[in-house]
Structure 1
Amino acid sequence: MSLKNTNVVNPQSVKKVAIVIANPAISTTTQWPVGFWWSELSHPYYEFMEKGYTVEVFSPNGGKCEADAMSDPNDASGYSSTDLISQGFINTQSLKALVENTKKVAEIDIHAFDAIIVAGGQAPMFNFVDAVDLHKKFVEFYEAGKIAAALCHGVAILKYAKLSNGEYLAKGKTVTGFANVEEDFADNAVWTYNLLPRDKHIMPWRIEDEMKAIGANYIQAGLWKGFAIRDGNLITGQQNFSGAETAKVVIAALGE
């Protein structure tokens, strides 16, 4: 696993990062509306802004995006009630507006950006299959020697990202992403509350299984542990508690 800084942009320049969030979708397994996860946008955004980076927010189709309900600190479930960074983001109108009017991924000029980071949430597992522009753009960043990062279920991009030679980008790479133990935990939670029958799963497929199937070296740090890993200019984060960790690895890779 290489730790060489492969970033090709002037290390003295102000860094610019493209964060990609998923467009809304309807889960084919639960029939629930799904979207991106707030902390996987807000936490990296915070870390990058603390470094003085310029950050722009994109989505595959552009336009208004919706977050998974449980990622909102104000949701009745209380699941994310302690996420003060997301709370601040949501209650700052200029920041929330970034989600309400995202730019299309196809509009990203890779020459103007140092890194791309693909956030997760549940929607990527259902609509990234058709996000062809995102597949291409992610590979363009990687093949240009720039930082290509994905986080949590945003790692779903690696199921579709293939290099110019036809090989999977992640083949032979050490990666992480939402772990099977975490999928099991989530499934058991919805089964316990009778939100799904026990023969149904929240996700149609699993990140860990698919990464292994395409020849990646999948690793994880344990249930709900913040974790990110770099292999060359590919960076991946484990799950929704890994937003800051992922951003910090990106920052280190950019020479900060």
Structure 2
Amino acid sequence: MKHILFIVTSTDKTGTGNHTAGYEFSEVADPYFEFVNKGFTVDFASILGGKPPFVGYDPSQKTSKEFKKSNGFKRLNFSHKLSNIDIKAYDAIFFPGGLGLMTDMVDNALVKETIKEVYESNKVVGA
């Protein structure tokens, strides 16, 4: 079975602090079900670990509503701290969008090293 690590933001504000941030809910929910329905195992990590903030939840979107009730969402709310992850255990990494990503990941040395390691191992890096 293939394993994918979703890496989401840990911040709830943009760098200036003027805008609410977090991962974009549908950008986790939609690909999560695509991967799981094709037999992939999905795990979640964030810079700080724990419950990452999200924005853009729309209960009228069927996939988002289903994800919020899913085991995946429950596990996401206890995301692994990225520094504790053995990246070699994964076949791919995926970065769901959202403004938070541009705040806590763009200059993060661990994120850059993780991307480099996955890419140089001829594995998939997606966003």
Q: Do both proteins adopt the same fold according to a TM-score greater than 0.5, normalized to the shorter chain?
A: yes
Unaligned stretches of 5+ in structure 2? none
Per the alignment, residue 20 of structure 1 pairs with 7
Correspondence 1:140-151 to 2 at 5 A: 140-150=117-127
Q: Which stretches of structure 1, 4 residues or longer, exceed 6 Å deviation after superposition? A: none
Unaligned stretches of 5+ in structure 1? 1-13, 75-80, 151-256
In 1: Cα distance, 2:41 partner to 2:68 partner: 19
In 2: Cα distance, 1:106 partner to 1:149 partner: 19
Instruction: Name the one with the larger strand percent.
Output: 2
In 2: Cα distance, 1:128 partner to 1:72 partner: 22
What amino acid is aligned across from residue 117 of structure 1 in structure 2?
Answer: F
Report the alpha carbon displacement of residue 146 of structure 1 after superposing the two structures with TM: 0.6
In 1: Cα distance, 2:72 partner to 2:65 partner: 11
Per the alignment, residue 91 of structure 1 pairs with 69
Per the alignment, residue 47 of structure 1 pairs with 34
Per the alignment, residue 111 of structure 1 pairs with 88
Report the alpha carbon displacement of residue 145 of structure 1 after superposing the two structures with TM: 0.7
What amino acid is aligned across from residue 72 of structure 1 in structure 2?
Answer: Y
Per the alignment, residue 237 of structure 1 pairs with none
Correspondence 1:1-256 to 2 at 5 A: 14-29=1-16, 31-68=18-55, 71-74=56-59, 81=60, 83-92=61-70, 94-150=71-127
In 1: Cα distance, 2:125 partner to 2:27 partner: 15
In 1: Cα distance, 2:125 partner to 2:117 partner: 9
In 2: Cα distance, 1:126 partner to 1:45 partner: 23
What whole-Å deviation, never above 9, does each CA across 1:38-96 have from its counterpart, x for those lacking one? 1111111101111111110111221111111xx1014xxxxxx3x2111101123x222
Q: 1:141 to 1:28 in 2, by over 3 A?
A: closer
Higher-Rg structure is 1
What whole-Å deviation, never above 9, does each CA across 1:195-244 have from its counterpart, x for those lacking one? xxxxxxxxxxxxxxxxxxxxxxxxxxxxxxxxxxxxxxxxxxxxxxxxxx
Q: 1:106 to 1:30 in 2, by over 3 A?
A: closer
What whole-Å deviation, never above 9, does each CA across 1:98-156 have from its counterpart, x for those lacking one? 22211012233232111011111111122213432111111100011111112xxxxxx
Helix, strand or coil at the partner of 1:95: helix
Structure 2 contact 7–44 (Cα < 8 Å) conserved: yes
Give the TM-score, by structure 2 length. Answer: 0.89
What amino acid is aligned across from residue 47 of structure 1 in structure 2?
Answer: E
Give the TM-score, by structure 1 length. Answer: 0.47
- Which has the higher relative contact order, 1 or 2, with Cα contacts under 8 A spaced 6 or more apart? 2
